[in-house]
Amino acid sequence: MSEQAAEAEQPDIKSARLSAEQYARNFSDMHPPLGATAALVEADRCYFCYDAPCTEACPTGIDVAGFINMIKSGNNFGAARLILQENIVGGSCARVCPTETLCEQACVRNDQDHRPVSIGLLQRHAVDAAMAAGQQFFSRAPDSGKTVAIVGAGPAGLSCAHGLARRGHQVTIFEAREKSGGLNEYGLATYKMLDNFAVREIDYIVAIGGIEIRHGQRLGEDFDLADLQRQFDAVFLGIGLDAVNRLGLAGEDADGVISAVDYISEIRQCLDLAELPVGRRALVIGGGMTAIDIATQVKLLGAEEVTLVYRRGPEAMPASMEEQEFCQIKGVKIRYNAIPVRIHTTGGHVSSVEFARSQSAADGSLNNTGEGFSLPADMLFTAIGQKFNAGIDPPLAFENGRIQVDAERKASVSGVWAGGDCIGNGADLTVAAAQDGKLAAKSINAFLQSSGNEE
């Protein structure tokens, strides 16, 4: 047995790999906010296009040129109002939205000689200013006497709740976890959402009144859809995805093989990062934002070697090129075109993973080239996607394993709407979930106002 193989067989997992100063530095803001002068300078770079392509590229239809023009004139509160009237979770979206592939990619300044306007940072600047000053732009209409149940206090549910409360309806949100926020609270890299912002944003949203949140209430366990249909005039499901995909390999249940989603949640809720155990050599399998987030954070927690392995090339990776580059700048190695084929264990603990080199065929399928390699690991994080696993009674129509909805986010059962990651045509983005909730609120309001609550 070689020295390297023997070393790989001994898992080296421990906490407090770094000093308190190193943890603080490593988990500082991914994109520090703009100062007042920097915001004015950046806003001045905008051409204020009449048919602004950046607005067309925004899933929630924010008047981007309009709010940037207000920032330029010193009216941050007016800018924030323009943003929040279209996207009430605009503060979190400014932090986590992949602007590089949406509004900023559409910016007319985005060419080889210029960089796009920093729309995300400008949006954050305006919303943060308004929230810090306690500026509330919306009020609740007179009570309509109608009640709506929302399942899930994530971006979709919160967006829907705010839209309904503004129209005077009474909203009750049923949330399975101890805290609200969904992925904004539990599923994003810590350096993307600092200073307890997810909680502060929720406080801002519910301050409108007419919204009650009940925690520790899980669909299929504490209640079912039929219960809500009997007790409320309408129901919105924003329950996300509650299960993770598996590799389907022997050894997947060994010690040290961990769901990236679960570990990211643990990082987000940890009060002292020094308490988190981290391996010296870590592997991540996947290619989306979750894979990037876990790989980067494990490296920042003190792992000496972190390697992310993706089955296709960089251009096919779901995570943007900017995120891939950020990950590598932080010290993560990315190996493309490789598929895990075997997990090796020693004493019940993962010790290495064997990969086969892959090649994309013309039809999009993957071929095994017959070549391969093996990488040692103390910890193996799986990040190959999530799936919908919640039981719903009465059952709804599904599409690609998720709830089927129409353009108004109506589900197949009358009086039921859905949005966010749980729907079949969802984009699995915070900003898309916010739009789902907004559209559903508008449709639910029309439904509640119709004669006899009949469509």
State pLDDT tens for residues 132-164: 999 999 999 999 999 999 999 999 999 999 999
pLDDT for position 2: 43
Residue 331 belongs to some domain of the structure = yes
The sheet with strand 416-418 has its strands ordered as 211-215, 170-175, 147-151, 234-237, 416-418
CA-based R_g, the chain, Å: 23
The share of the chain scoring above pLDDT 90, in percent, equals 85
291-295, 364-368, 404-408: least confident range: 364-368
CB 201 within 8 A of CB 89: yes
pLDDT for position 367: 86
Residues 238 and 302 in one domain: no
pLDDT for position 404: 95
Q: In the chain, helix, strand, coil percent, each to 5? A: 40, 20, 40
Helix (H, G, I), strand (E, B) or coil at 57: helix
Residues 434 and 329 in one domain: no
Looking from the CA of 192 toward its CB, the CA atoms found within 13 Å total: 28
Does 439 score more than 70 pLDDT?
A: yes
Residue 36 belongs to some domain of the structure = no
pLDDT for position 288: 94
CB 187 within 8 A of CB 288: no
Residues 438 and 406 in one domain: yes
Does 447 score more than 70 pLDDT?
A: yes
Residue 305 belongs to some domain of the structure = yes
Residues 259 and 377 in one domain: yes
pLDDT for position 9: 61
86-95, 210-219, 434-443, 444-453: least confident range: 444-453
The residue among 361, 386, 411 that closes a domain is 386
Residue 285 belongs to some domain of the structure = yes
Residue 39 belongs to some domain of the structure = no
- Please return the burial class of 346, using the count of CB atoms within 10 Å of its CB with bins 0-12, 13-18 and 19+: middle
Residues 260 and 350 in one domain: yes
- The label of the residue with tokens 């919105």 reads 236
Distance (Å, rounded) from C-alpha 349 to C-alpha 346?
Answer: 5
342 - beta bridge partners? 354
Distance (Å, rounded) from C-alpha 186 to C-alpha 238?
Answer: 15
Average pLDDT estimate for 356-383: 91
200-237 pLDDT tens trace: 999 999 999 999 999 999 999 999 999 999 999 999 99
5-9, 138-142, 347-351, 427-431: least confident range: 5-9
CA-based end-to-end distance of the chain: 72
Q: How many domains does the chain have?
A: 3
Residues 259 and 311 in one domain: yes
Q: Quote the domain boundaries for residue 154.
A: 147-242+388-453
Does 100 score more than 70 pLDDT?
A: yes
Q: Work out the mean pLDDT of the chain and round it to a whole number.
A: 93
Residues 256 and 380 in one domain: yes
Residues 319 and 419 in one domain: no
User: 218: how many CB neighbours lie within 10 A of its CB?
Assistant: 15
Residue 267 belongs to some domain of the structure = yes
Tell me the CATH number at 80.
1.10.1060.10
Structure tokens belonging to residue 28:
């500082």
The residue among 371, 386, 401 that closes a domain is 386
162-178 pLDDT tens trace: 999 999 999 999 999 99
Average pLDDT estimate for 256-266: 96
Distance (Å, rounded) from C-alpha 286 to C-alpha 297?
Answer: 15
Residue 137 belongs to some domain of the structure = no
Residue 141 belongs to some domain of the structure = no
Confidence of residue 451 (pLDDT cuts 50, 70, 90): low
Residues 257 and 381 in one domain: yes
